[in-house]
Amino acid sequence: MSDLTVCIGGQAGDGIASIGETVARSFSRLGLHVFGMNAYQSVIRGGHVYYQARTSADRPYSQGDGVDILYALDRQTVDVHAAGIRPGGYVVFDAEKFAVTPGELPAGVTALAVPTLEIARKYTTQSILQNGAGVGAVAFLAGVPLDLLHAVLTDSFGNKKGEVVDWNLGASAAGYHFAEAHAQPHASAVHRAGPPKLLMTGNQAIALGAAAGGLKFLAQYPMTPASSIMHWLAEHSHSLGIVVKQAEDELASINMAIGASYGGVRSMTATSGGGFSLMVEALGMAGMTETPVVVVDSQRAGPSTGLPTKTEQGDLNLMLGAGQGEFPRAILAATHPSDAYPLMIRAFELAEKWQTPILVASDLHLSENHATVDREEVPLDFEPAPLVTVHPNGHDYKRYQYTESGVSPRAVPGQAGLQFIAGSDEHDEKGHLVSDVKSGIPHWVAERARMMDKRMRKLEGLRHEAPPPVLEGPEDAPLTFVTWGSTVGAVRDAMRVLAGLGKPTNLLRFPTVFPLDPAAVRTALGRAHRTLLVEANYTGQFGRLVRAETGVELPERLLKYDGEPFSPHEIVARALEVMDHGGK
Amino acid sequence: MAESSAPPAPTPTGPALPLIGKSDVKPTWCPGCGDFGVVAAVEMAVKRLQIPSQNVVIVSGIGCSSNLPHFLNSYGFHAIHGRAVPVAEGIRWANHALTVIGTGGDGDGFGIGVGHFIHAMRRNVDLTYVTMDNQIYGLTTGQASPTSRMGQKTKSTPTGVIEEPIDPISLALASGATYVARGFSGDVKQLADLIAGGIQHRGFAFVDVFSPCVTYNKINTFDFFRQRVYKLESAGHDPTDLVQAFARSIEWGDKIPVGLFYRTEKPTYEDLEEVLSAGPLLSQKSGLKGREALLDEFV
């Protein structure tokens, strides 16, 4: 098998995401790597939604460029997706609902009418059961064994009544056998490849990584596409001993998290750009009071409410500049659930070590889509270090003591003799504010500058600790992609396509987006023959940051701001243009 | 699994541990400011309850009154404008063995921070929230506040305020606060009693304090209140009766009530948050070591 992509489409409320997840999970249980893209709209019923489950011999990092099996629950799905079906593919539909004529499909694509409603009616008047029959037919075409499909379905129903499970098992078997009687499995049908892999969304990996990193307190306000971080943690709150608080707004969320962190536990909040905008002032307070906090911004297409269910990497400028004045921060960016997990552990370690806010950039494409990880990629053995860095020593505890690293000894309430005030005003080493009767007095003018120097030394520490850009692909390739975050996925897939065309390329990705080490970045970019910046925003925000930090211009760019994730073919086309014609 | 080496706070007794006192920072309030009475009352109340200063956290927002934490030698968090309450909630949830006292002004609590105020009350978080209500913005030199009365002339309302004031007591009663009181900084002894009662109360205790601004509010002065305040306890008020409490809360004019409006017992947020039943969060284990079964749901 090479590459097999199943797409299921219909209206919101049709159960598309759950059919899609069933297919994706069937693949992952067969030991195959999967990328599952759940495309939806900001409606609860109606509209057009689809789920695209892609599996391939090499781990897929994006939704890919074509479809092999389209299961259309409505006519619009055929209209939207038929042109993307590759030769040898199928359209599964129910002729009782609408017609599909062979002439409207690409050459070599077969329309397979499956009587899904008729099968469903044998069990119930609830038409949703047609999905069971449909997924059975899809499973046969895709090569998923019926018993494995049944195990996935049974597990997915969890606590539901036995009757519903039985109906689905019956309907899916009928759909499976119908397809068996009327069609051949797809030429790229799957086979078992190894032990089951773990299928998770980016947000689940973020939540799991946070828990592994020692998270004890999450405060969050619902906002797509960050909400499912809270959902997963809320579901596991009791068993993991993590307090999950849905706050009244994002202002409260981050302030609660900062309070809890000051109180002595590792804390986090998560949101999207709109909510992050509300957190900006408190982010500065975390910087000023030197209170660790981890903030996840799962970006969606802006500005303002923008496209709530569509993706973008448009908040980088915001994350870089959030907060009045200057304070140390780092921005980490995950590319895939497999690195989102360790990245969260790192975020908590950095926040504790440097006592300052650490931002984690995700986006809808990473947060809400499924991908497979191997168990070895999510080791659970990390042990969060104890928090307290100072013990009662009598008389002269200085919470904001000047140190070489800028990191001062931290105490928590309850410790005897170490009382201090964490203040959002400028303060001296003991935490006493210098903003009123002392401000402007020469000695305190100098102290203010010293305190700024102390805090900002932590930024240099964070810079020193930032991993260098990661090179993937052959070292000496004629083209180097420069990219970050979830866009790395489509670039990786594009590189494979280009390699197949005899056009080797490599990529540079940035697990730490900020602060960058200019020398390391200059060295890495200096090895590139030619670069192509790829990111999902209008102005090339990361390219601008690289130029600002290193002086290196990245003239060739591929920017996308239509709300959709990059497809490999778009990147391939632009890369060929740059390589063959020297760009535009 | 890692455990924090920070000891959970002991129960609030133990004469061996130092009690709260003044810090070495001198208050910067204007001479005669009402807030002097409030800081004195907070100190008296906490001292009387014998809570060691290491187990007390005083949280504030921004404004003249929000400088209060600096003047006592407990732990403190001087946060940003309007956010004292969520910071205080976070501290409570991290370590509910601590005594957490929120402080601030009327602009901080009933203007920019009013949303947090309401939600904290409906949650019945076990906090004591003391507002120094001077019906004016002092630190920004005299603009109207959410509790400025209709018609009051200020820098931002030169022809007089044209919107109704918030009544913090009615708002607290309507929002589910389980201890609702009003004090006057001209009567430190009564105020200390009300604050001590609030700290002892399990649940959200709200103490609004008439704390006159001697510089920018020439209407709601010490004399204004001295002539008008009467004590609820001397007027036969039953603080277990919510309807009576509402009726008293809207009294304003020649007679203005101070004292305990309402008290009731309800489970606190911390009681109902199951995770906290295992003890203060900071003393609990963290990380996922040994939790391999957690990954099975992803298969």
Res B10: pLDDT: 45
Distance CA A392, CA B168 (A): 41
Q: Look at residue A42 in the predicted model and tell me its pLDDT.
A: 85
Report pLDDT for A542. Answer: 98
Nearest CA-CA distance, residue A147 and chain B, Å: 16
State how far the Cα of A97 lies from the Cα of A204, in Å rounded to an integer.
36
> B94 and A245 in contact by Cβ < 8 A?
no
CATH of domain B35-298: 3.40.50.970
The residues that bridge with A266 in the sheet, in sequence order, are: A215
> Which of A240, A264, A378 is nearest residue B295 as measured by Cβ atoms?
A378
CA closest to B80 among chain A residues: A424
Does a structural domain hold residue A85? yes
Which of A23, A63, A142 minimizes the C-alpha distance to A368?
A63
CB contact under 8 A, B54 and A198: no
Bond from prior residue into A565 cis (ω within 30 degrees of 0): no
Residues A228 and A336 in one domain: yes
Q: What is the pLDDT of residue B8?
A: 44
d(CA A127, CA A116): 9
Asked if A230 and A280 sit in the same domain, the reply is: yes
CB contact under 8 A, A251 and B70: no
Cα–Cα distances (Å) from A543 to A44, A400, A537, A551, B115, in that order, read: 37, 36, 11, 10, 40
Contact B78 A238 (CB under 8 A): no
Sole residue written with tokens 């919470």: A399
B149-178 pLDDT, tens per residue? 999 999 999 999 999 999 999 999 999 999
Parallel, antiparallel, or unpaired: how do β-strands B179-184 and A3-12 relate?
A: unpaired
Q: What is the pLDDT along chain A (584 residues), one digit of tens a residue?
A: 479 999 999 999 999 999 999 999 999 999 999 999 999 988 888 899 999 999 987 899 999 999 999 999 999 999 999 999 999 999 999 999 999 998 999 999 999 999 999 999 999 999 999 999 999 999 999 999 999 999 999 999 877 778 999 999 999 999 999 999 999 999 999 999 999 999 999 999 999 999 999 999 999 999 999 999 999 999 999 999 999 999 999 999 999 999 999 999 999 999 999 999 999 999 999 999 999 999 999 999 999 999 999 999 999 999 999 999 999 999 999 999 999 999 999 999 999 999 999 999 999 999 999 999 999 999 999 999 877 667 666 568 999 999 999 999 999 999 999 999 999 999 999 999 999 889 999 999 999 999 999 999 999 999 999 999 999 999 999 999 999 999 999 999 999 999 999 999 999 999 999 999 999 999 999 999 999 999 999 999 999 999 999 999 999 999 999 999 999 999 999 999 999 976 54
- Asked whether the beta carbons of residue B94 and residue A421 sit closer than 8 angstroms, the reply is no
Among A251, A256, A289, the residue with its CB nearest the CB of B90 is A256
A416 contacts B282? CB cut-off 8 A: no
Q: Kindly state whether residues A73 and A147 are assigned to the same domain.
A: yes
Contacts of A410 in chain B (CB under 8 A): none
CB–CB contact B55 A413 (8 Å):
yes
Query: Three-state SS for A303?
Result: coil
Q: Which residue has the tokens 């809270």?
A: A230
Best B83, B273, B284 residue to mutate vs chain A (most A CBs within 10 Å): B83
Nearest residue in A to B291, CA atom = A380
CB contact under 8 A, A29 and B299: yes
Quick count: other Cβ atoms within 10 Å of Cβ A326? 13
Asked whether the beta carbons of residue A241 and residue B278 sit closer than 8 angstroms, the reply is yes
> Of A377, A396, A418, which residue constitutes the final position of a domain?
A377
Using CA atoms, how far apart are residues A91 and A111, in angstroms rounded to an integer?
Answer: 5
Same domain, A182 and A234: no
Query: Is A382 part of any domain?
Result: no
Burial group, residue B163, by CB count within 10 angstroms (0-12, 13-18, 19+)? exposed
Q: Give the chain A residue nearest B272 (alpha carbons).
A: A243
Of the residues A465, A491, A507, which one is the last residue of a structural domain? A465
Residues A371 and A520 in one domain: no
Chain B residues with CB-CB distance to A261 below 8 A: 90, 94
CA B108 centroid distance within chain: 11
Nearest to B6 among A212, A264, A424 (CB): A264
Has residue A264 been placed in a domain? yes
* Residue where the block lists tokens 């019926």: A146
pLDDT recorded at residue A584: 47
* Subunit contact A265:B55, Cβ cutoff 8 A: no
ipTM: 0.96
Best probe of the A interface among B25, B53, B100, B282, by most A CBs < 10 A, is: B282
Question: Per-residue pLDDT tens for A246-271?
Answer: 999 999 999 999 999 999 999 999 99
Q: What's the CATH number where A50 sits? A: 3.40.920.10
Name chain A contacts of B290, Cβ cutoff 8 Å.
380
Q: B6 and A417 in contact by Cβ < 8 A?
A: no
Tally the domains of chain A: 4
Q: What are B263's two structure tokens?
A: 């008290």
pLDDT at A47: 92
Please enumerate in sequence order all residues whose Cβ is within 8 A of that of A129, keeping only pairs 6 or more positions apart, or say none: A119, A120, A123, A167, A168, A171
Smallest CA–CA distance, residue A20 to chain B, in Å, is: 15
pLDDT for position A387:
74
In a shared domain, residues A449 and A329: no
Tokens of A302: 């802006």
- Collect all residues of chain A within an 8 Å Cβ-Cβ radius of residue B5: 386-388
**Phi and psi, residue A444, nearest 5°:** -80, -25
Asked if residue A134 is part of any domain, the answer here is yes
Query: Given this model, what pLDDT does residue A1 score?
Result: 44
**B163: amino acid identity, one letter:** E
The per-residue pLDDT for range B72-103, each reduced to its tens digit, is 999 999 999 999 999 999 999 999 999 999 99
If 0-12 CB within 10 Å is exposed, 13-18 middle and 19+ buried, where does residue A87 land? exposed
Query: pLDDT tens digits for A163-174?
Result: 999 999 999 999
Shared domain for A184 and A54, answered yes or no, is yes
Distance CA A237, CA A245 (A): 10
Is A337 a domain residue? yes
- Do A209 and A318 fall into the same domain? yes
Query: A243 and B288 in contact by Cβ < 8 A?
Result: no
Q: In terms of domains, do A558 and A438 share one? A: no
Residues of chain A neighbouring B70 (CB-CB closer than 8 A): 421, 423, 432-433
Structural domain includes residue A383: no
Query: What is the per-residue pLDDT across B33-60, written as a single tens digit (0 to 9) for each?
Result: 999 999 999 999 999 999 999 999 999 9
Q: Which domain-ending residue is among A196, A213, A231? A: A196
Smallest Cα distance from A443 to chain B, Å: 17
Minimal Cβ distance to A256: which of B74, B89, B291: B89
Instruction: Please judge whether B94 and A258 are an interchain contact, meaning their C-beta atoms are less than 8 angstroms apart.
Output: no
- What is the DSSP code string of A158-174? TTS-HHHHHHHHHHHHH
Among A159-173, A536-550, B125-139, B184-198, name the one with the lowest average pLDDT.
A159-173
- pLDDT for the residue numbered A102: 86
Please check whether residues A164 and A278 belong to one and the same domain.
no
The residue behind tokens 């002392």 is A438
**CATH number of the domain to which A215 belongs:** 3.40.50.970
Residue B258, pLDDT > 90, answer: yes
User: CA of B9 to nearest chain A CA: how many angstroms apart?
Assistant: 5
Which of A32, A35, A28 lies closest to A62 in space, CA to CA? A35
Out of A285, A413, A433, the one facing B91 most closely (by C-beta) is A413
Looking at residue A391, its pLDDT comes to 67
Do A185 and A207 fall into the same domain? no
Which of A241, A258, A384 is facing B90, going by the closest CB pair?
A: A258
Residues of A in contact with B285 (CB under 8 A): 241
In whole angstroms, what is the distance from residue A207 CA to residue A228 CA?
9
Q: What number of residues does chain B have?
A: 299
Show the tokens assigned to A439. 């401000």
Domain extent at residue A448: 388-465
Q: Which two tokens stand for residue A117?
A: 């409603």
Q: What residues does each domain of chain B span?
A: 35-298
Q: What is the pLDDT of residue B133?
A: 98
Q: Which one of A29, A388, A413 has the shortest CB-CB distance to B75?
A: A413
A47 and A139 inside one domain: yes
- Tell me if B294 and A208 make a contact (CB, 8 A cut-off): yes
- Distance to chain B for A290, nearest Cα, Å: 12
Confidence of residue B12 (pLDDT cuts 50, 70, 90): very low
Residue B219 scores a pLDDT above 60: yes
